[in-house]
Chain A
Amino acid sequence: MRAALPNGLRAPVRTSRPATAAWLFLAPALLALAIAGGWPLVRTVWFSLTDAQLAGGPFSFVRLENYRWLLTDPDWWRALRNTLVFATVSVALETALGILLALVLDAGFRGRSLVRAAVILPWAIPTVVSAKIWAWMLHDQFGIVNRLLLAVGAIERPLAWTADPALAMAAVIAVDVWKTTPFMALLTLAALQLVPTHCHEAARLDGIHPVRFFFKVTLPLIAPALAAAMLFRFLDALRVFDLIYVLTSNSRSTATIAVYARQQMVEFQDLGYGSAAASLLFVMVTGATVLYLAATRSRAQESET
Chain B
Amino acid sequence: MSSVALVEIAKSFGRQPALVGIDLEIADGEFMVVVGPSGCGKSTLLRIVAGLAQPDRGDVVIGGERVTHWPPARRGVAMVFQSYALYPHMTAFDNMSFGLEQARASRAEIDRKVRWAADILRISHLLERKPRELSGGERQRVAIGRAITREPGVFLLDEPLSNLDAGLRGHMRAELIELHRRLKVTTIHVTHDQVEAMTLADRIAVMREGRIEQVGPPLSLYRRPVNRFVGSFIGAPQMNFIAVELRGYADGVLVVGLPGGAELRMPIEPEHRFAPAASVEAGLEIGVRPEHLIASNGGKADLAGRIRLVEHLGSATLLHVRCPGIEADVRIQLPGIVSWQAGQEIAIEVPAAQCTIFAAGVAIAHGG
Contact = CB atoms under 8 A, between A and B. Distances in A.
Interface in B78-110: 78-79, 81-83, 85-89, 98-99, 102-103
B321 interface: no
A26 B324 CA distance: 70
B137 to A, nearest CB: 18
A216 interface: yes
Interface in A150-201: 194, 196-199, 201
Contacts of A194: 88
B93 to A, nearest CB: 14
Nearest to A201: B52
Interface in A194-211: 194, 196-199, 201-209
A212 interface: yes
B265 to A, nearest CB: 54
Interface of A: 194, 196-199, 201-209, 212, 216-217, 220-221
22 contacts: A194-B88, A196-B85, A197-B83, A198-B85, A199-B86, A199-B87, A201-B72, A201-B79, A202-B81, A202-B146, A203-B99, A204-B51, A204-B73, A205-B50, A205-B51, A205-B99, A206-B73, A207-B74, A207-B99, A207-B103, A217-B89, A221-B88
Contact of B102 (A198, A201, A206, A221): A206
Top 8 A-B residue pairs of the complex, sorted by shortest distance between their CB atoms: A207-B73, A206-B99, A198-B85, A198-B81, A202-B85, A205-B72, A204-B72, A220-B89
A193 to B, nearest CB: 13
A209 B102 contact: yes
A212 B102 contact: yes
A194 B85 CA distance: 12
Contacts of A207: 71-74, 99, 102-103
* Chain B interface SS verdict (over half): loop
Contacts, number: 64
A208 B98 CA distance: 8
Given A197-B83, A198-B81, A206-B98, A221 B150 contact: no
B88 A202 contact: no
Give the interface size class of chain B. Answer: 20 to 34
Interface of B: 50-52, 71-74, 77-79, 81-83, 85-89, 98-99, 102-103, 146, 150
A199 B73 contact: no
A217 B94 CA distance: 11
Contacts of B78: 205
Of B52, B87, B103, most A-chain CB atoms within 10 Å:
B87
Contacts of B50: 201, 205
B88 A208 contact: no
Contacts of B72: 201, 204-205, 207
B176 to A, nearest CB: 19
Contacts of B74: 207
A237 B39 CA distance: 51
Nearest to A200: B85
B99 A208 contact: yes
Contacts of A206: 73, 98-99, 102, 150
A140 B73 CA distance: 54
A217 B87 contact: yes
